[in-house]
Structure 1
Amino acid sequence: MIGDVDTHRLKANRSTRTPPPPISGVPVTPTTVDLAAMRRAFELADVAAAGGDVPVGAVVVDATGRIIGEGRNLREVTGDPTAHAEVVALREAARHLGSWHLTDSTLVVTLEPCVMCAGAILQARIGRVVFGSWDAKAGAAGSLYDVLRDRRLPHRVEVVGGVEEDRAAAQLRAFFEDRR
């Protein structure tokens, strides 16, 4: 019974989900750069799915709009539980810049980051996160948790959620339906 109630609550939460208010108080919408990066993230998610991984893709864009890091889920391919798309993209961006400080960068990802990825985002000092589908089961950017904007932490991130949400959710749904 409790499981049924929790599942019902999560489904209800997802269907009525509205983004948490931005840190600045000013409504945040995706930019044209964000949308272009999201298109690339979807391509990377397709590659992940073709390799048997959950279709999540991520792109790190610098302040000029240039892609400096890309990643896709690689957990199944590598056997590495930390090889989430966000972590892979952050690592590539840090290598590209020669620094772990990614303050002026934006991470664009097809699925709301989990707690582990939110921690990596905070450690990298990413300034903005743009994501597609909300994740009511493991999301840490406003769904289940809001780690990225927790006022108790020294760094907070501007979050833009639900960008291309229908496409992102459909991509995930198709992947899991094929596995049943």
Structure 2
Amino acid sequence: MSGMELQKHEHYMRKCIGLAELARQRGDSPVGSVIVYNDTLVGEGMEGNKTQNDITFHAEIEAIRSAVRHFGKQDLSDCILYTTHEPCIMCAYVIRHHHIKKVVIGLMVGKVGGISSRYPLLRDHSITVWGKPPELVNGILEVECRQLKG
């Protein structure tokens, strides 16, 4: 990855970290996510499942909903999703459904993750209706993302 690309990833990950901090301040898990199209932020979301009393109120899903409203369509194939934490299996399904081309992650989470769990939906090539899996970039501002949990 080039230095310019890393700078761009870090810039958007810092936006995710800011959203995660807001989520934590209001009593939710500290997870933030943004959607970028042609270097323009078109969607953002923060975790809200506790305060909204809705298990589907995950940062990634809220960012996707925001981007879908922005574009007025479901296809986000020209977009990049940034998130502080590895998307869960539910979020991975939504990411694949919307054909997001790249997912940039701060911190991998394991057991329920859509990449590193037993159900790696974000890497699965066998689900042809979704097309090819997104490009995955891991470890952007990992230390800062890990500190969110702390």
Same fold (TM over 0.5): yes
The structural deviation recorded for 1:28 is: 9.2
Structure 2: any 5+ residue segments left out of the alignment? none
Paired residue for 1:52?
27
Paired residue for 1:162?
139
Give 1 or 2: higher strand fraction.
2
Paired residue for 1:65?
39
8 Å Cα contact 1:28-1:160 kept in structure 2: no
Evaluate the alpha carbon distance shift between residue 28 and residue 88 of structure 1 in structure 2; reply closer, same or farther with a 3 A threshold: farther
- Which residue, out of 89, 95, 110, partners 1:121? 95
RMSD: 1.6
Q: Please tell me whether residue 82 in structure 1 is matched to residue 56 in structure 2.
A: yes
SS at match of 1:76: coil
- Structure (1 or 2) with the larger CA radius of gyration: 1
User: After superposition, what is the alpha-carbon deviation per residue over 1:56-90, rounded to whole angstroms, capped at 9, x for unaligned?
Assistant: 0000000x110000000011111111000000000
Paired residue for 1:140?
114
Structure 1: any 5+ residue segments left out of the alignment? 1-26, 175-180
SS at match of 1:60: strand
Q: Which amino acid aligns with 1:169?
A: R
Q: Please tell me whether residue 40 in structure 1 is matched to residue 15 in structure 2.
A: yes
**What is the aligned-residue identity percentage?**
36
8 Å Cα contact 1:109-1:132 kept in structure 2: yes
Q: TM-score, normalised by structure 1?
A: 0.77
- Which residue, out of 64, 71, 75, partners 1:101? 75
8 Å Cα contact 1:48-1:56 kept in structure 2: yes
